[in-house]
Chains A and B, each alone.
Chain A
Amino acid sequence: MDAGLKLKAVSFSYDAQWCLKGIDFELKGGELVGMIGPNGSGKSTLLRIMDGLLKADNGLVLLLNRPISTLRRHEVAKQIAMVPQETIFRFAFTVLEVVLMGRFAHRGLFPFEGKEDLEIARESMRLTGILDLERRSIHELSGGEKQRMLIARALTQKAQFILLDEPTSQLDIRHKVEIFELISSLARSQGFGAMVVSHDISLAAQYCHRMLLLNKGRICGIGAPDEVVTTDTISEVYQCPVLVDKNPITQTPRVTVLSRRAENNTATKPLRW
């Protein structure tokens, strides 16, 4: 239970276009890590390498101290769950049916779920606040409800690690906060390790124990939020003028994007990018 999800000197490339290089990282149980970085920096790719969906060209990905490539899909699924950005169901399943799908890896060949699976699914839905949506068709859900359903599905996998790929990108501010609250409290209460990919840097910084900054396939910052999220690093990595100060209420880094006008007015030293 203590063995984390370890990446050692991992590198990967798509058709020699660009690559991930020298990734050394460990996700531990009970922590919430926020992965940030500009588009194209390799965040989604890294997530898929962590889940074993993509095979690293070099280096090792270890799950429970075994190379992930030696594990069958359902063995991985029992340890790692993924909440994708969005999901398209061509046919109208109900919410309960979708959440139950998370039990797949635990079922073996017998094609029917049992009482235990049903209880686990309902518990997950209770935790994510969608228990009353049980019979609703998934095509009738709002964006926030869909995300919570996907999180509930991930919870039913009873995995040690949950990876979330931009879970809040389609949501309004209230729901963004709700999702982060949910993930954070669940990670604490259920004890799993979570990696959240997000563009909401400030919000992530409020909740995450650690942040991981990815740029052009390399880790250029890893540590506590206020270490990683600074004016210089963010504006350089995102190639965009920003101001990072401390949120007076939460004491966490707060990122403000500057317009041209604001930049010209600023009294601080010129920004390099």
Chain B
Amino acid sequence: MRGAKDQIVTPLRVLSIGTSLSIVLIVVALISLSMGPAKVSLVDILSWCAGMGSVDETASMILAKIRLPRILLAGLVGFTLSLGGVVFQVLLRNPLAEPFILGISSGAAIGAIGGIVLGLGFTVGVPLLAFLSALGTILLVMGISSRHGGLESSTLLLTGVIVNAFFTAIIMFFIATASDSRLHSMLFWLYGDLSQSKYIQLSICLPLVLIVSGVIYLFSRHLNLIVGGEQSALHMGVEVELVKWVSFIGISLITGVVVSFSGIIGFVGLIVPHLMRMILGPDHRVLLPASALGGAVFLIAADTVARTIISPSELPVGVITAFLGAPFFIYLLKKRGSQWTQD
């Protein structure tokens, strides 16, 4: 699908892809705004956005305080996880990588569950504990894996897997011994829940995500070169260790932040990068923004399905992403299996 395009990636190409995806994002967000138990038509949405009041008080409150922050959080989480997925897949040289693979998921979960057990609130207490715990976990994993100041991919992966397994065991212990109400809250968080979104949370996440994304984008050519092997990249002038440290810490930071508010939503960081790479090619100058925006679209759509498909009840969004993700995964393995084993 790439053959007919420009010879090389130019700023124009990046801008045009970025703009198209942004438009898609806005359209999807508007459609999502119009969906839910309380019926609001698209036309009304548009006029509401323009500040004109053709929507009643209840609907307006639902839009402003429930749906909009939720959509914004979904977009932000999808953006962050997909961006992280691209970066981790290159740096760990593993197509199955996503930001949770190094232990952030279980690390954050332990913090969150601890917060729930202690009875902390979901606005500040639980997210804070989740974030600190995630950060601690990633530093632990990186600390264990660093040798002579360098980070080795396979060591990172293994350490991450072991840490994940160990923490999961602890989590299962908590779940097994939890009282009823706590149990529901824990499971709710573990499956991913975007319904608690508040503007204050978004205002913390957004600038961080934008800054880290900007820094990572500056590394896009570096990432291209690292695809050919770390040694090759070093020979051509890339400071590979620097790229790795900054990327791992940066991505882990923003992943930890968003996950502390949204819970664990899997598969987004895995599917979207692959999908985008198949359509747009492996050049990271295109892939990074495309995956990030694509991830935002994907998660907004998935969350919309999650909250409307069995209305007025809701499914956890992690169920929808897994439902879409698992078959896609199998398809990936069958189709591209040969490419990944080209060792």
Interface residues of A (CB under 8 A from B): 51, 53, 72-78, 80-82, 84, 87-93, 96-98, 100-102, 104-105, 107, 109, 111-113, 118, 134-135, 139, 153, 157
- For residue B119, CB closer than 8 A to chain A, the reply is no
A134 to B231, CA, bound (A): 24
A101 to B228, CA, bound (A): 10
Q: Contacts A96-B7, A111-B221 hold; do A105 and B227 have CB atoms under 8 A apart?
A: no
User: Least Cβ distance of A9 to chain B in Å?
Assistant: 24
Q: B220 touching A81 by the CB < 8 A rule?
A: no
Q: B343 touching A73 by the CB < 8 A rule?
A: no
A77 to B233, CA, bound (A): 10
Q: B3 touching A87 by the CB < 8 A rule?
A: no
A92 to B236, CA, bound (A): 19
Known contacts A53-B235, A72-B239; can you find 16 more A-B pairs with CB under 8 A?
Answer: A73-B239, A81-B235, A87-B228, A89-B227, A90-B339, A91-B282, A92-B339, A93-B227, A93-B281, A93-B282, A97-B283, A101-B224, A102-B236, A105-B237, A111-B217, A112-B10
- For residue B234, CB closer than 8 A to chain A, the reply is yes
- For residue B207, CB closer than 8 A to chain A, the reply is no
User: Least Cβ distance of A256 to chain B in Å?
Assistant: 35
Question: Which residues does chain B contribute within 8 Å of A90, judged by CB atoms?
Answer: 93, 95, 227, 339-340, 342
**Could you count the A-B residue pairs with CB atoms below 8 Å apart for me: how many are there?**
95
Instruction: Sort chain B's interface into a size bin.
Output: 35 or more
A118 to B10, CA, bound (A): 12
Most-contacted residue by chain B among A97, A101, A118, A153 (CB, 10 A): A101
Q: B232 touching A87 by the CB < 8 A rule?
A: yes
Q: A109 touching B218 by the CB < 8 A rule?
A: yes
Q: Contacts A112-B9, A135-B3, A139-B339 hold; do A73 and B234 have CB atoms under 8 A apart?
A: yes
Contacts of B306-343 to chain A: CB distance below 8 A: 339-340, 342-343
Q: A84 touching B3 by the CB < 8 A rule?
A: no
Question: Which residues does chain B contribute within 8 Å of A88, judged by CB atoms?
Answer: 228-229, 342-343
Question: Which residues does chain B contribute within 8 Å of A81, judged by CB atoms?
Answer: 235-236
Q: Contacts A87-B229, A101-B236 hold; do A139 and B224 have CB atoms under 8 A apart?
A: no
Interface residues of B (CB under 8 A from A): 3, 7-11, 93, 95, 217-218, 220-222, 224-225, 227-229, 231-232, 234-239, 277, 281-283, 285, 339-340, 342-343
Q: B221 touching A104 by the CB < 8 A rule?
A: yes
Q: A82 touching B235 by the CB < 8 A rule?
A: yes
Question: Which residues does chain B contribute within 8 Å of A111, judged by CB atoms?
Answer: 217-218, 220-221, 285
Q: A77 touching B235 by the CB < 8 A rule?
A: yes
A107 to B224, CA, bound (A): 14
A89 to B298, CA, bound (A): 28
Q: B237 touching A78 by the CB < 8 A rule?
A: yes
User: Least Cβ distance of B278 to chain A in Å?
Assistant: 10
Question: Which residues does chain A contribute within 8 Å of B218, judged by CB atoms?
Answer: 109, 111
A195 to B44, CA, bound (A): 72
Q: A73 touching B237 by the CB < 8 A rule?
A: yes
List 24 contacting pairs A-B, 8 Å CB cutoff, sorted by A: A53-B234, A73-B234, A81-B235, A81-B236, A82-B235, A84-B229, A87-B229, A90-B339, A90-B340, A91-B227, A91-B282, A92-B281, A93-B227, A96-B8, A97-B283, A101-B221, A104-B236, A105-B237, A112-B11, A118-B7, A118-B8, A134-B7, A135-B7, A157-B236
Question: Which residues does chain A contribute within 8 Å of B281, judged by CB atoms?
Answer: 92-93
A223 to B218, CA, bound (A): 46
User: Least Cβ distance of B162 to chain A in Å?
Assistant: 24
A156 to B221, CA, bound (A): 16
Q: Contacts A89-B227, A90-B227 hold; do A84 and B232 have CB atoms under 8 A apart?
A: yes
A111 to B235, CA, bound (A): 18
Q: Contacts A84-B229, A92-B282 hold; do A113 and B235 have CB atoms under 8 A apart?
A: no
A89 to B224, CA, bound (A): 10
Most-contacted residue by chain A among B7, B220, B283, B340 (CB, 10 A): B7
Residue of B nearest to A122 (CB): B7
Question: Which residues does chain B contribute within 8 Å of A53, judged by CB atoms?
Answer: 231, 234-235
A273 to B39, CA, bound (A): 91
Q: B237 touching A104 by the CB < 8 A rule?
A: yes
Q: B229 touching A77 by the CB < 8 A rule?
A: no
Question: Which residues does chain B contribute within 8 Å of A157, judged by CB atoms?
Answer: 236
Q: B235 touching A84 by the CB < 8 A rule?
A: yes
User: Least Cβ distance of A70 to chain B in Å?
Assistant: 15
